[in-house]
Amino acid sequence: MPPRTILLYPNAALKMVCEPVADVDAEIAALITDLVGTMHAGPGSVGVAAPQIGVTRRVCVVDVSKNKNGRDNNHGLLVMVNPEITRQEGAAVMREGCMSVPDYTGDVERAVEITVRFLDGDGRQQEIEASGFEAVAIQHEIDHLDGILFLDRVASLKTGLFRRKSYK
């Protein structure tokens, strides 16, 4: 299946709080397939959330394993249904970008260690600890499920937002 079209800011769907998933059924499995395909097709993408393709359900995928910032510390492909961060520690500022805001990057403060609980693609309860770049990517995607864009977390739009030179 070809990748789905990514909605761009200021599309209203990107600001909606997503509905929880009651059951990981065939419809959710198809959504997961679309999310993974869309993530892999995106230039430099390490994650995508359902609202970015116009589906307001609590489903996202993350895979930082092929990124230089995450290749040494990752869980591989994470399929997360109804993800919930149950623990956060530390804080660091990192430059973030987003396929839904392709022309900008921004400095965002995030927790550097998290514990996240979610259902996997088979509907099984999972809980993992993530740190570094992977933790940042997970927090970014969960924000999408809550209608929050990285733009909302940039401390100063004047000094912490940057026009992207190229999108690779």
So what's the pLDDT on residue 24? 98
Residue 68 structural domain: 12-163
Between the CA atoms of 154, 160, 166 and 168, what dihedral angle is there, to the nearest 10 degrees? -50
Domain of 134: which CATH number? Answer: 3.90.45.10
Burial class of residue 30, CB neighbours in 10 A (0-12, 13-18, 19+) = exposed
The answer to whether position 3 is within a domain reads no
Tens of pLDDT, residues 72-126: 999 999 999 999 999 999 999 999 999 999 999 999 999 999 999 999 999 999 9
The answer to whether position 5 is within a domain reads no
The answer to whether position 134 is within a domain reads yes
Our CA angle for 58, 8, 5, nearest 5°, is: 75
Global model pTM greater than 0.85: yes
So what's the pLDDT on residue 21? 98
pLDDT at 58 over 70: yes
pLDDT at 158 over 80: yes
Residue of 38, 40, 48, 35 whose CA lies nearest to 97:
48
CA distances from 17 to 59, 73, 146 (A): 12, 30, 4
Q: Is 76 helix (H, G, I), strand (E, B) or coil?
A: coil
The answer to whether position 97 is within a domain reads yes
pLDDT at 167 over 60: no
The answer to whether position 95 is within a domain reads yes
**Averaged pLDDT, 42-68:** 97
Catalytic residues: 141
> Count of domains in the chain?
1
